[in-house]
A and B are shown apart, each in its own frame.
Chain A
Amino acid sequence: MSSAADATVARPVRSRIMRRALPYVLSLPALLVCIGILIPFFTAAYYSMMRFRLNLPMMKGFIWFDNYIAFLSDATFWHTVAVSLVYAGLTVGLELVLGLGIALLLQKPTRFNNAASILLLLPLMTAPALAALMWKLMTNPNFGILSYLVSLIGVTDFKWGSDPSTALFTVVLVDIWVYTPFMMILLLAGLRSLPQQPFEAAALDGVPRSFVFFRITLPMLMPYMITATLFRLLDSIQQFDIIYSMTQGGPGDTLLVFQVSAYLEFFQFTNVGRSAAILMVLWAITYFLSNIFIKQWLKLRERTRGHG
């Protein structure tokens, strides 16, 4: 039997260069996007070292790190740092506890539990900006259902987002509403993937439930918890959508977290230099955190992909 493709047909020779180039050609667009990110990034870094106000273009000048040094003695800057840290700490901490609790409640893969966990995803899938709007409507002093419910237990005139003393509480509440499902779903997946033997052995030995939880479940769940926490910390410290939609950073300067502050500096006060400097400080924090996170994330990915 002779083969159909005979030696008389010229064989296309692909050169080695073409084959070596293939991965680069394929990832060219991704590279372009990278460049599209890096150029503005370096521009922002550059601007952060300048005195640059859009409404006073003639005063534009290079001042090295003066913006940053000015921060050290600037009360508003430290207020921003404090609010951001408090916001991030409260939201992530509460979401972790709540998420873990809900995951434990729904641990058994029954049809009801599965349906419940799917429904619980819905808040996570709403745009945070729109979620803030929803809660704004619900906390409206005139017709908001929450204002009404709260008045039933005797707390009249609860100002929710419009009062400095309760604004933080309100936005944290919205954040918890949106993002707790994220924690829940990650921890639930983790819980359900834990090996059964240690638990079966503990049941056979008659080990008390609290012991099982603290000494067996929690340690095994730790990688998931750390990954989820870092993930959320990174997002929470940069929160913009919820706070801006709810109060635009107010009332006053109560909720001026990093990105909201930077946004207002840029668009309200047109102070590009200062705005960029605020963002660079935030970037440094997130860069540091994300390096820790990526290591954890890669470790977790290895583990659940079945070791490559």
Chain B
Amino acid sequence: MARLELRGITKSFKNGAVLDGVSLAADKGEIVVIFGPSGTGKTVLLRLIAGVHDPDRGSIFVDGEDMTDVGPDHRGIGMAFQNFALFPHMSAFDNIASPLAARHMAAGPIREGVERVARLLKIDHVLAHAPRELSNGQKQRTALARALVGSPKLLLLDDPLRNVDAKLRFEMRLELPPLLKQSGATVLYVTQDYKEAMALADRIAVLIGGHFVQVAPPEEIYRLPENIQVARLFGDPTINLIDVTPQASERGVSATIGNTAILIGEQYRAAVGRASLLGVRPEAIKIGPAAAGAIAADVVAVTPLNERLVTLLKTGDGHEILASQPSSERAVEADSQVGLQFAHDDILLFDKASGQRLKAVNGAGLS
């Protein structure tokens, strides 16, 4: 039995945020990251699961029990909010102790529990302070401690690292996974940062347009995105999407870019003649000297981006392509002519009309 099950959750708000038939099953101890652009209802979904708001339709099951009508105080949940939501008139200690105090535990066990979690999150030295005396990083750790202290079955984290400075965010991205795994809770983690999603998730659930477009492990989302939107959301710089219409020839199925025909493989035969988008990630493109079989392109500009080098290229038929390489490699010169090549396996083909990725189904037609 799944620890958490959402069935057909539907909710609409006056400001338009809409969830339309959202379903998900999460296993015990799994970390599921809910990812999507802002305003798509990720926070709303989390609050529905927490019990703070009611869905218009649908149900929520925890360990097989229907929780849809149960109040947030009895769902066995821990939650950390984006803006921390610490109780301003209580010390950090009392904030963290709150879930334990609600269970009428004795002072001794409460103290032990709070100190244990505080040590884990490295805030045991600020427990006596009021929230306004804490730094943002300490506030977020306090919020996390409060969510974890009661050993909840379900942990809901609403973009907890959003309001924390970049350096601390990076540190916590390393600390969080072992912490979450150690707690044994099933975690639903909301974020808009795809790198965060990929770093933390066992599975990523991509929420677009009010429902989950794809729910899969990070690798799969990155290499086999369900549609154009998902492909664009992951990866920096964004995936290249080039208009092509696959042709069939005696050599096989091919797509023409910049006057060069690239073989794209038999599995795409059904796409012949259909307007499509060929997707290839910038890091998969190798820039070499102009050659037969390589796509001819002019180098427009070269820019460093973090630890990589990004090159903007333009093909003869006007397509703009981004290629990225480790900065240890030599950059090409602007205005030079080069040839682009990429491997078969790095090719993704999308139907232009629907945006769906054309999947190769063995033998049978394409989806």
Direct contact of A and B (CB under 8 A): yes
Give me the interface of A with B, judged by CB distance under 8 Å. 1-5, 7, 11-16, 19
Cα separation A65 to B278 with both chains bound (whole Å):
82
Q: Are A16 and B151 in contact (CB under 8 A)?
A: no
Interface residues of B, count at CB 8 A = 17
The yes or no answer to B54 lying at the interface (CB within 8 A) is yes
Q: Does B160 contact A (CB under 8 A)?
A: no
* Bound Cα distance from A19 to B71, whole angstroms: 10
B69 and A4 contacting across the interface, CB-CB below 8 Å: no
- 10 cross-chain pairs, A with B, having the tightest CB-CB distances, nearest first: A1-B151, A3-B151, A11-B74, A13-B69, A14-B71, A11-B70, A4-B103, A5-B76, A13-B70, A3-B76
- If A3-B76, A5-B74, A12-B74 touch, whether A19 touches B54 (CB-CB below 8 Å) is yes
Closest A residue to B73 using CB positions: A12
Tell me whether chain A's interface is mostly helix, strand or loop, or mixed.
loop
Most buried by A among B65, B67, B74: B74
Residues of B within 8 A of A11 (CB): 65, 67, 70, 74
Those of B67-81 within 8 Å (CB) of chain A: 67, 69-71, 74, 76
Q: Determine whether B335 belongs to the interface, using a CB cutoff of 8 Å to chain A.
A: no
Determine the distance from Cα of A280 to Cα of B70 in the docked complex, in whole angstroms.
52
Interface centre among A3, A16, A19, by most chain B C-beta atoms within 10 angstroms, is A3
B217 CB-CB contact with A under 8 Å: no
Return A13 CB to nearest CB of chain B, in Å.
5
Q: What residues on B are CB-neighbors of A2 within 8 Å?
A: 151
Please name all residues of chain B whose beta carbon is closer than 8 Å to the beta carbon of A4 when the two chains form the complex: 103, 105, 150-151
Q: Interface code B51-73, partner A: CB below 8 Å = 1, 0 otherwise?
A: 00010000000010101011100
Q: Which residues of B contact A12 (CB under 8 A)?
A: 70-71, 74
Please encode chain B, from 171 to 196, with 1 for each CB lying within 8 Å of some chain A CB and 0 for all others. 00000000000011000000000000
In whole angstroms, how far apart are the Cα atoms of A11 and B65 in the complex? 10
CA distance A3 to B69 in the complex (A): 21
Q: Any chain A CB within 8 A of the CB of B281?
A: no
Known contacts A4-B103, A11-B65; 5 further A-B pairs (Cβ under 8 A): A2-B151, A4-B151, A7-B63, A12-B74, A13-B70
Chain B, 146-182, contact with A by CB distance < 8 Å: what is the 0/1 string? 0000111100000000000000000000000000000
Complex: A5 Cα to B54 Cα, angstroms: 23
CB pair B152 A3 closer than 8 Å: yes
A6, closest chain B residue (CB): B76
Chain A residue with the shortest CB-CB distance to B102:
A5
CA distance A13 to B74 in the complex (A): 9
A7 touches B65 (CB 8 A): yes
6 A-B pairs with CB atoms under 8 Å apart are: A3-B150, A3-B152, A11-B67, A11-B70, A11-B74, A19-B54
Find chain A residues with CB under 8 A from B71 CB.
12, 14
Q: Chain A nearest CB: distance from B37 CB in Å?
A: 25
Residues of the B chain whose Cβ atoms lie less than 8 Å from the Cβ of A13: 69-70
Chain A residue contacts of B69, Cβ below 8 A: 13-16
By the criterion CB–CB under 8 Å, are B70 and A5 in contact?
Answer: no
User: In the complex, which residues of chain B have a beta carbon less than 8 angstroms from the beta carbon of A7?
Assistant: 63, 65
Known contacts A16-B54, A19-B54: A3-B153 contact under CB 8 Å: yes
B103 neighbours in A (Cβ, 8 Å)? 4-5
Task: Scan residues 24-72 of chain B and give those whose CB is less than 8 A from a CB of chain A.
Answer: 54, 63, 65, 67, 69-71
Chain A residues with CB under 8 Å of B150's CB are: 3-4
Q: How far is the CA of A43 from the CA of B251 in the complex (A)?
A: 95
- Bound Cα distance A5, B78 (Å): 13
Using Cβ atoms and an 8 Å threshold, which residues of chain A touch B67? 11
Q: For residue A16, which residues in chain B have a CB less than 8 angstroms away from its CB? A: 54, 69
Chain A residues within 8 Å of B54, by CB: 16, 19
Which of A5, A13, A14 gathers most chain B CB within 10 Å? A5
- B362 to chain A minimum Cβ distance, whole angstroms, is 44
Q: Which residues of B contact A3 (CB under 8 A)?
A: 76, 150-153
* CB of A4 to closest CB in B, whole Å: 6
Q: How far is the CB of A3 from chain B (nearest CB, A)?
A: 5
